Amino acid sequence: MALAISGCGGEADAPPTSQAAVTVNASDDGASATPSQVGVSPFGEERSSSTGAAVTVEKPRRVSLKDDAVDHNQKYAAVRITLTNGGSSPFPSSEVSFTGACSNKPAVSPKADIGDTGMAYGPVNRYVQPGRQVRFQLVYTCPEPESLSITAAIAEGPFATFAGA
């Protein structure tokens, strides 16, 4: 499971209040893609889905979690994600889901406040207008940020894996 932290929210229009929260978990059937299934892109490169959603994932970095509900013996890595609408119609940011792997094992995400980023909590839940973007951050349990990989998927399946810090 991934934790999403919102940021830079002024670049997309808010969805109707009935819109469900963004899903940043593995797919409903529990399957997750491996880097070899979709090809690996370096962090910082933009990859696009068949729907026009384009994703850029920045290089992971270590973060501290200040919430008392997390295991402080764990180490955490965060990635900043930019989701861009390269299509001609608005789409909900929830159309794209993200999973993390640390050393090729599923990376879990705690529900906690982020200590050293100064960003508030909560997944981005917006309609992304054509030519606009939404930025947010995901945090995963991963002792070494350089061993973290992130896979982006749409309903049809994974379309990008980012790795190689």
SS3 per-residue string spanning 75-136: CEEEEEEEEEECCCCCEEHHHCEEEEEECCEECCCCCCCECCCCCCCECCCCEECCCCEEEE
Per residue in 110-160, pLDDT (tens digit) is 754 444 444 433 355 788 999 999 888 888 999 999 999 999 999 999 999
Residue 158: partners with Cβ closer than 8 Å, 6 or more residues away = 33, 37, 38, 151, 152
Residue 29: partners with Cβ closer than 8 Å, 6 or more residues away = none
Phi, psi of 79 (to 5 degrees): -130, 140
Q: CA-to-CA distance for 8 and 114, rounded, in angstroms?
A: 16
Is 134 within 8 Å of 6 (Cβ atoms)?
no
Residues in the chain: 165
Residue 65's pLDDT is what? 78
Per residue in 2-54, pLDDT (tens digit) is 444 434 444 444 433 222 223 333 333 334 444 446 789 999 999 999 999 99
Residue 24's pLDDT is what? 38
Q: CA-to-CA distance for 122 and 53, rounded, in angstroms?
A: 21
Domains of the chain with bracketed CATH: 3-163 (2.60.40.1240)
Residue 147's pLDDT is what? 95
Residue 84: partners with Cβ closer than 8 Å, 6 or more residues away = 46, 53, 54, 55, 56, 128, 132, 133
